[in-house]
Every structure is written in structure tokens, then in C-alpha cells.
Structure 1
């Protein structure tokens, strides 16, 4: 099996967290954010935010994902994540994928 390539906008940290460099700075309550660090979720957290897909709408799944990612991130809200440009939200999703492979 080949090792996964880490995009240049991600840093895999020694404490098993992942730092995402955003494509541009964003304002979070008066604080300029140029990166977001996600810690690895526990199995319980993953289950908490992953209900059966036949019981929730796609919009609700998106909201749950934003809540889960915000709970793992360093000082950002679900609203902040929902307001990221798609490019940067995709970067956060890619960072999360490093916890599941």
C-alpha cells in the first residue's frame, strides 16, 4: 500500500491533529483566522454526529458535519465553517479524512 500524499495546505502534527492553511484570511469574532487545527475525534464523537442518513435530510447532514468539525476545531463555530468559501471548506473536509483512513 502506498503512503497517502499530504496536500501542501495541510500539516500533520505530532499530536495527531491536522492544521489546515486557508486560502485567505477570515474573520471570526474580530480575530483573523488564516488556519484551523482539527484534533482527532473519538469514536463516540463520530457516532454522535453521524446519524442514519435515511433519518435526516441532506441539509441536516451538512449542519451536523459543520457542528462536528467545529467541535474538533480550535475556536471556530459551525457558522464560521458554513461561511467559508467552498475551496476552504473542502480543505477542512480533506483534513478530517486523514482521521478516517
Structure 2
């Protein structure tokens, strides 16, 4: 029997989207927000993020997250590290198999 990890209070997971509550408001697309949503990625999203980053794994991840959140890469670069870590956690929850 697999043990499921509890979902943090700052993370809301649905079948095709995760919403991450930020630890502090941040500017995205010129607007102050206190949460970010990532939609579920497609193979096309992954390929586009790869093409724009070459061999740079960090840039590829930034490109992908920016696309899924519909914000600019520069906006994500302005996030507190704690909030970027939350974004990474949310993404991995979104793409993991339901049996995990």
C-alpha cells in the first residue's frame, strides 16, 4: 500500500491545474498577485520550452512554468526563492501519476 503525501495548505490541486498561494504578493504581468496557477502541460509545451532553452535546464524550467502560468519569465525570476520552490512542488504534483 502506497503512502500518499499530504498536500500543503498553500497548494490546491485539481485534475488539470494547480494553484499555489505565494508567501508574499508578487507582480505578474503588471498586477500584484498572491497566487499563481499552472495548467497541466502538453507534450507541445515541453518541446517548446526545450527549443527556447537549448541545454540550459534552468531556462527550460523557467520557460515551461512561464508558459503554464501565462506570465513572463522575468516575472518568475522576481519571485522569492520560497515561492519558486512552491511553484516547482506544485508542478511536480500536477504531473505525477495519481497512484503515487
Note the residue ranges of structure 1 that are not aligned, 5 or more in a row: none
Structure 1 residue 44 displacement after superposition: 3.1
Query: Which position in structure 2 is the counterpart of 1:41?
Result: 41
| Inter-partner Cα distance in structure 2 for 1:29 and 1:100 | 25
Is residue 2:62 matched to residue 1:66? yes
Match of 2:78 among 80, 83, 88: 83
Number of residue equivalences = 93
Note the residue ranges of structure 2 that are not aligned, 5 or more in a row: none
Higher relative CO (Cα under 8 Å, sequence separation at least 6) belongs to: 2
Query: Which position in structure 1 is the counterpart of 2:89?
Result: 94
TM-score of the pair, normalised by structure 2 = 0.80
Question: RMSD over aligned Cα, in angstroms?
Answer: 1.9
| Inter-partner Cα distance in structure 2 for 1:50 and 1:89 | 19
Structure 1 residue 26 displacement after superposition: 1.0
| Inter-partner Cα distance in structure 2 for 1:48 and 1:5 | 32
Structure 1 residue 12 displacement after superposition: 1.1
